[in-house]
Amino acid sequence: MNAVGIDVSKGKSTVAVLRPFGEIVASPFDVSHSPKELSKLVTLLKTLDGDTKVVMEYTGNYYLPIALFLRNNGLFVSVVNPILVKDYSTKSLTVRKVKTDKKDSLKLASFALDRWKELSPFSAQSEARLLLKSYNRQYNQYNKLKVMLKNNLISILDQTFPCANTLFSTPAKKADGHEKWVDFVLKYPHADCIPKKSFSAFSKSYLSWCSKFGYNFSERKSRTVYDFACNCSPSLSFTESTALLVSNAIPQLNCINETLASLASEMNKIAATLPEYCTVMSMFGVGSVLGSQLIAEIGDVTRFSNKKALVGFAGLDASPFQSGNFNPQSRSISKRGSDALRKTLFQIMSVILQNSPTNNSVFQFMDKKRAEGKHYFVYMTAAANKFLRIYYARVTEHLKSLQPAV
């Protein structure tokens, strides 16, 4: 038995090899992530007598090239959740807290020896799934920037055109992500830009603007906007400088919106190539964006042994917490899983709650918990849990139906 612990970092990894009873076959040493160095490591590990198993942690994207290289060269590789290794104790007779790459590699090797029979072989997801997940993470990052830039624009408008962001309820364009109120304040950056015209002149100007940018025109809406602007009380007077303040804040926001629209479109194209796409899209509350995000974060559902494993991966499971006569009836969710998946699930639950489909089992369960007087977050989390279980059942059933009959 040769337990190989690899502590992966950017550019290099630290490797240690142990055998039972604490026998050190190879003291911790560094290996760069070049093909030449990794080939030398493969040669070394293959010369060892007995079975050899390699263990490393999920460390962002750093572990993937090393895990694939070693697996493709015929070695047993297992990639484990860092939480499992963190909670693992080597029972060292010291109270000092030591954290180095060498110590971590030895700890991973010791973990491999203790969990030898429980180690599962590493199976990489398809390139499409990896690409989809990368797209989703980028989408989430740009979305954060969008929120920041939008809030910044609103704070500026509070001084030049208060509440202008509430004038239109038109959804963002799917093609480029532009929002009507944002494009409108680029044309009219200050409330005083509108009352200085007659209503007839403004209405014609507004009609021309709507036609140019592809927005719907309404005479009634133009009157509403005109009256609103006439009753506005901006704190900054209209000058070239105040107009520039607004116009400088908008291009960045529109650029982010265009990027998000492009990412969402590409995510949907990639997700459509995966076998579970149609099944996922048929679930209520799931659209092209949320559906793609859901598939991206869950990945290949067959890697989960059962529905409880998927719920645990999302961090929605309530861990047991009992001691003596203390056995609470209400427990918090673990939150030890994917926070990106939990966010996506919460957004889907919000869609279901807003639409309230009475014939939907997830909404019925949510409504039942709400009627029992449960807190908002409690029934939303419970519904997300149920949704995941249904997701697991439907997708696994669909994937089995695609397999050839034996």
Q: What is the residue-level pLDDT of the chain in tens, covering all 406 positions? A: 888 999 998 888 999 999 888 788 888 899 998 899 999 999 998 888 888 999 999 887 888 889 889 898 889 999 888 888 887 776 554 566 777 888 888 889 888 888 888 888 888 788 899 999 999 999 999 999 999 999 999 999 999 999 999 999 888 888 889 999 999 999 999 999 999 999 999 999 999 999 999 999 999 999 999 999 999 999 999 999 999 999 999 999 999 999 999 999 999 999 999 999 999 999 999 999 999 999 999 999 988 889 998 988 888 877 666 566 666 666 677 777 788 999 999 999 999 999 999 999 999 999 999 999 999 998 999 999 999 999 999 999 999 888 776 5
Q: What is the CATH number of the domain that holds 50?
A: 3.30.420.10
Taking alpha carbons only, the member of 175, 70, 80 closest to residue 120 is 80
Residues with Cβ within 8 Å of 100's Cβ and at least 6 positions away in sequence, in order, are none
Same domain, 314 and 248: no
Same domain, 41 and 161: no
Same domain, 177 and 77: no
Distance CA 121, CA 56 (A): 11
Same domain, 104 and 150: no
Sheet containing strand 52-57, strands side by side: 23-32, 12-19, 2-8, 52-57, 76-80
Q: What is the CATH number of the domain that holds 248?
A: 1.10.287
> Of 269, 294, 321, which residue is a domain's last?
269
Instruction: Show the domain range for 379.
Output: 274-402
Taking alpha carbons only, the member of 336, 347, 327, 346 closest to residue 385 is 346
> Of 245, 269, 293, which residue is a domain's last?
269
Same domain, 209 and 100: no
Same domain, 279 and 180: no
Same domain, 287 and 193: no
> Of 269, 298, 332, which residue is a domain's last?
269
Q: How many domains does the chain have?
A: 3
Distance CA 386, CA 136 (A): 23
Same domain, 250 and 318: no
Burial of 316 (0-12, 13-18, 19+ CB in 10 A): buried
| DSSP state string for 8-23 | E-SSEEEEEEEEGGGE
Same domain, 161 and 285: no
Same domain, 316 and 376: yes
Same domain, 162 and 120: no
Taking alpha carbons only, the member of 231, 204, 225, 206 closest to residue 216 is 206
Distance CA 191, CA 238 (A): 8
Distance CA 236, CA 66 (A): 59
Same domain, 250 and 228: yes
